[in-house]
A and B are shown apart, each in its own frame.
Chain A
Amino acid sequence: MYGDLGSKLVLEAKRAQQLNRSSGAEQLPMFQDELIRNIIKEVGQLSKSAEYLTAQQEETGFQDKVARCQYFVTLLCIERNKRCLLAYQKLRSDALDTFTWNRNGIDPISSLNAAHQGSANLSHHEQEYLKEYAQLVTDMKSGDYTDIDLSGSLTPPSDVFIDVRVLKDAGEIQTEYGVFNLIKDSQFFVRQADVERLIQQGYLQKL
């Protein structure tokens, strides 16, 4: 029936959502190009038949109750397909937003695509959207809110000093508050505010 493809797409969206929730890793599955194109084709057929029905109705003078019912059901099918498509796309764009907030500004934006292993998983409209949104987030952070780092950690700071262990080799990296020499498997006892970004980037592990 009409709308079956749409529910398949929504099931796919549901699965992606659960995958995201369980693993926590920002990884979007493949954009369902094929499926979406099929649904759009279905919508095209539906709208063609809706046009045909309206033309027919005009001939009979809007009297035919059966034709009216047919027209209404066709419209509902179109609407349902639209809902499924929009829900899928919105879910993906929401995931992209979360990704931008969590990772962006910490890595330089240019490496956004490199950081996102599944960059090929996005449709090119989505890639464009991701770029624009990253720009928007950067603009937001640089306005009046420079002093409070908007993309910073959302867990409240409880300790002033923490122990961290270096997870991967990075050489001399820290610049803003002084230089650390990050050698793999070394430990530091440092101020939390200094290393928060390095923890988010995955260089350090909090103990």
Chain B
Amino acid sequence: MNIDIDDILADLDRDTTAVDSSLITQGHNDTTVLGSDGIPLNKQRVVPAAISPVSDFQTLMRFWRNERMSPELLPYPHLLMERTLRRIQDQLEHIECVSMGYLEEQSGSAENTSESVGSTALLNKLPLLCMEADLERLKFVVRSLLRCRLAKIDKYSLYLRQFDSEHGVVPISELLSRQELEYHERHSAMLLKLLNNSILRHMPPEAQAVDDNDGSVKMVDEPEWDRFVFVYVNGPDTKQGVDPRLQVNELGQQFYPVSIQELHEEAELALGGIYVMRYNVVRELVLDDMVQLI
């Protein structure tokens, strides 16, 4: 007779961890700033149970990978980026303060004994180095992400221009950040000016449009919706309960059913599997964070 008491144990565990985590966050309060905890997230997508720097970083990494691999421009994670940028700023200031304090300490104690100076310097150096290297890495990720998005904006600028009128799915203000929007507008304006001045001015009036889709060749580049991408099926967040789309096959494995349009074929994306799929097949799952691009 086995009595399953896992849930009772889990209850007990949760009590203790609650205390622990609060202690931890208090202890680290000087270095890490929990951002925008007051703002309620109204989106169902990517809602971490508690906003912490670590989970934010993981989300950022996932978003970065998706953005680099996906053929289309993904919606800009406004809140996440806001928090990340603020943390970078705070951490920069913090490092500045620590290194200043370290300098004063050194000059103050230099008069006393030279041996203690070396030891305190060594003691202080390591955390400082780690913090700086850490910050460099985070900055690199953000920089790479933003540059990647800017490159995509350049590539699809004509497509984005007609975005508002034809596809009302996502408003352009949600797709792009404020700075990206400005970049998009200014860059396409100056590119248009260049093309107008050097070429289009000399064309007959019916051939002067740059976004002419009725000619023999379309001039507006759309994203390659059916490009092949590698996906890793990570499944729903364990805390969020069961995903209604998830199904169980005869082997007892959980999978997402997806249908490939042009082949009229059904495919099973088992949890934990890696597949090569057309992007338009898995697009919904990518946006809902059930699969990652790799």
Contact = CB atoms under 8 A, between A and B. Distances in A.
Interface string B131-147: 01100110110111011
Interface in B83-106: 85, 88-89, 92
A126 B194 contact: yes
B186 A123 contact: no
Contacts of A47: 203-204
A82 B147 contact: no
Interface residues of B, number: 40
Contact of B140 (A97, A143, A157): A157
B273 to A, nearest CB: 28
Interface in A103-133: 123, 125-126, 128-129, 132-133
A163 interface: no
A55 B85 CA distance: 63
Contact of A156 (B89, B140, B193, B216): B140
B85 A154 contact: no
Given A136-B186, A156-B137, A43 B203 contact: yes
Given A93-B191, A150-B146, A153-B140, 20 more contacts: A36-B199, A43-B202, A75-B207, A78-B203, A78-B204, A79-B216, A125-B194, A129-B191, A129-B193, A132-B190, A133-B187, A133-B190, A140-B183, A148-B143, A150-B143, A152-B139, A154-B144, A156-B137, A157-B133, A160-B129
Interface of B: 85, 88-89, 92, 129, 132-133, 136-137, 139-140, 142-144, 146-147, 150, 154, 179, 183, 186-187, 190-191, 193-195, 197-200, 202-204, 206-207, 210, 215-217
